[in-house]
Amino acid sequence: MKIKPYIHNESSLAYSVGETLDRFIKKKQDDFTYASGELSQLLRDIALATKIVNRETNRAGLANIGGAFGQTNVQGEEQQKLDVIANIRFTRALTKGGEVCAVVSEEDDEVIDLQNSSGKYVVAIDPLDGSSNIDVNISIGTIFSIYRRVTPIGSPIQLEDIMQPGNKQVAAGYVLYGSSTMLVYTTGCGVNGFTYEQSLGEFFLSHPDMKAPNDGKVFSINEGGYNQFDQGLKNYLKVCKEREYSARYIGSLVADFHRNLLKGGIYIYPSNPKNPNGKLRLLYEANALAFIAEQAGASATDGENRILDIQPTSLHQRTPLFIGSSVMVKEAMSYLAKEKV
């Protein structure tokens, strides 16, 4: 019998399709001798739910699953049918995967105890962010944070398992259902982005080791609320305009954040007298994106403090958000500070 070694053949007749998310997760797990595989399984569970939600969003216009569901969530916002569907899909995937003991979701007023006290992890999730954009075919997203529970495994979950500051996240990510669907995540060792290949039903590594430009020329803010902005923010926006920066705002946090992460820019959702903490939620919107931003070399603050150091005090707590290229975030904060003295 003759045996010959396999020689990798990069033929143009059968080009390599690249590295799948599954293989990447497995490889990263092998890099850490102490990793037990549960976090890897959890990330795969999220990826599976993502594929299903991607399918649902793609056919929303055909399947009578666009439009309002007819109920409001705990924040008093009208739920879309796809908000509800995505919430079910993610919660179900996390329940079946068995690694998670509790879920905090934008769509549920209370913590969901998955009745799996042996699960090591807690997940905070906005299953479908920017959902007012669904019916007009504009990019939407999913945002998730993963924490290790702090109380003993096997015991009932406690509030302290949930109310952890963002600096305790073990992983975080987002999915952008855009012109292509992308999943971007970090486990605290850099940020990697994967693009969904519909015909193969797989995510492939397309954006390895993502790094945000240190500075940028894009500002993303809903200027409809301008009259209510603090003077410091008004001054910063004036400077952006004097420098002829581009204004880009689609009203989908994930899409606005993703563009600025790749191209350089700042996303701002400020406080105003009516909403002193802005609109965005700390636990399942700001924290995950702040973790990713920092891992990519960008920054995230509430205008004064690092987002990741804010100790949450309530489940659906809101926070102002200044996130993006570090130089821009720093400059915006200095304008705010000048008006506060």
Give the shortest CB-271-to-ligand AHM separation in angstroms: 12
Q: Are 49 and 90 in contact (CB under 8 A)?
A: yes
CA distances from 147 to 134, 186, 283 (A): 29, 13, 11
Give me the residue label for tokens 């998670």. 100
Q: Pick from 56, 129, 161, 302 the residue near ligand AHM by CB under 6 A.
A: 129
Q: Are strands 121-129 and 100-105 parallel, antiparallel or unpaired?
A: parallel
Binding mask 155-174 for ligand AHM (x = CB under 6 A): --------------------
130 assigned ligand-binding residue: yes
Give the shortest CB-338-to-ligand AHM separation in angstroms: 25
Residue 256 makes contact with Mg ion by CB under 5 A: no
Measure the N-to-C terminal CA separation of the chain; round to a whole number of Å.
84
Q: Are 261 and 145 in contact (CB under 8 A)?
A: no
Give the shortest CB-148-to-ligand AHM separation in angstroms: 26
Residue 214 makes contact with ligand AHM by CB under 6 A: no
97 assigned ligand-binding residue: no
Nearer to ligand AHM by Cβ, of 29 and 57: the residue is: 57
Residue 130 makes contact with ligand AHM by CB under 6 A: yes
**Separation CA 301–CA 296 (nearest Å):** 15
Residue 99 makes contact with Mg ion by CB under 5 A: no
Instruction: Please name the amino acid found at residue 101.
Output: C
Residue 77 makes contact with ligand AHM by CB under 6 A: yes
Give the shortest CB-309-to-Mg ion separation in angstroms: 22
Residue among 206, 185, 207, 201 nearest 292 (CA): 185
User: Which residue ranges make up the site for ligand AHM (CB under 6 A)?
Assistant: 77, 106, 126, 129-131, 222, 251-253, 279
